[in-house]
Amino acid sequence: MITDVERLIQLLAKLPGLGPRSARRAVLDMIKRPEANMRPLARALLEVADSIKTCAVCHNIDTHSPCGICQDPRRPQDALCVVADVADLWALERARAFRGQYHVLGGTLSAMEGRGPEQLNIDSLLRRLHEAVERARPVREVILALGATVEGQTTLHYLQDRLVSFDCEVSVLAQGLPVGGELDYLDDGTLTLALQARRRYGQN
């Protein structure tokens, strides 16, 4: 009916989590107050598109490269957390769960989607570890913070193999009950894992 509006709906509907129906609702909501919502959103999109850079060191996203995390002198250099996506890095930063360095793979290995090791930032990870050794400041621990999915675990096993030649500890995230998790709502796999990985009460 209205071509401009239809095109806007189509573009919004392409975003993950939005379909044509919610895109239409969003556009109708914005149209009611174009100055309050539509123009600021357009400007914010352009600003981010202009300013965004991928960090040459860790492949994080920031307005400069190397990114703020890589440049932060207060963060320890001897612990490196490997994540699949920038979203995972952000989640860990929001949780203030980790204070060291990151490396973003840019995805996980996936035979289904034809994504092999050369499509991921694995070479640059190994190069970073090599360079750290050469600078006589080796990385003490590499944490493989990958999801408990088939693809996450496949990537994890592949990386473990590639990391054996380095003199560093390789660790993975614990699996078990999520915080607030109730037993009768948990899947069998998680329950079994949580039971197998049980620890003595009072121990860490």
Q: Which residues bind a copy of itself (CB under 8 A)?
A: 1-2, 4-5, 7-8, 11-12, 14-18, 22, 24-31, 34-35, 37-49, 51-52, 61-63, 68, 85-87, 90, 93
Q: Report DSSP state, residue 185.
A: G
**Closest to a copy of itself by CB, 74 or 135:** 74
CB of 105 to a copy of itself, least distance (A): 14
SS3 for 54?
Answer: strand
The residue to which tokens 């088939």 are assigned? 150
Query: What's the min distance (Å) between Cβ of 204 and a copy of itself?
Result: 29
Q: Which is nearer to a copy of itself, 51 or 149 (CB)?
A: 51
Q: What is the largest CA-CA distance in the chain?
A: 66
Q: Which is nearer to a copy of itself, 85 or 141 (CB)?
A: 85
Q: How far is the CB of 84 from a copy of itself (least distance, A)?
A: 12
Nearer to a copy of itself, 55 or 143 (CB): 55
**Which tokens belong to 182?**
């109730």
| Contacts of 168 by beta carbon, 8 Å cutoff, 6+ apart | 129, 138, 139, 140, 141, 142
How near is the Cβ of 54 to a copy of itself at its closest, in Å? Answer: 9
d(CA 59, CA 63): 12
Nearest-approach distance from CB 91 to a copy of itself, in angstroms:
9
> Which CB atom, from 26 or from 129, has the smaller least distance to a copy of itself?
26
> Using an 8 Å Cβ cutoff, are 146 and 125 in contact?
no
How far apart CA 164 and CA 25 sit, in angstroms, is 52
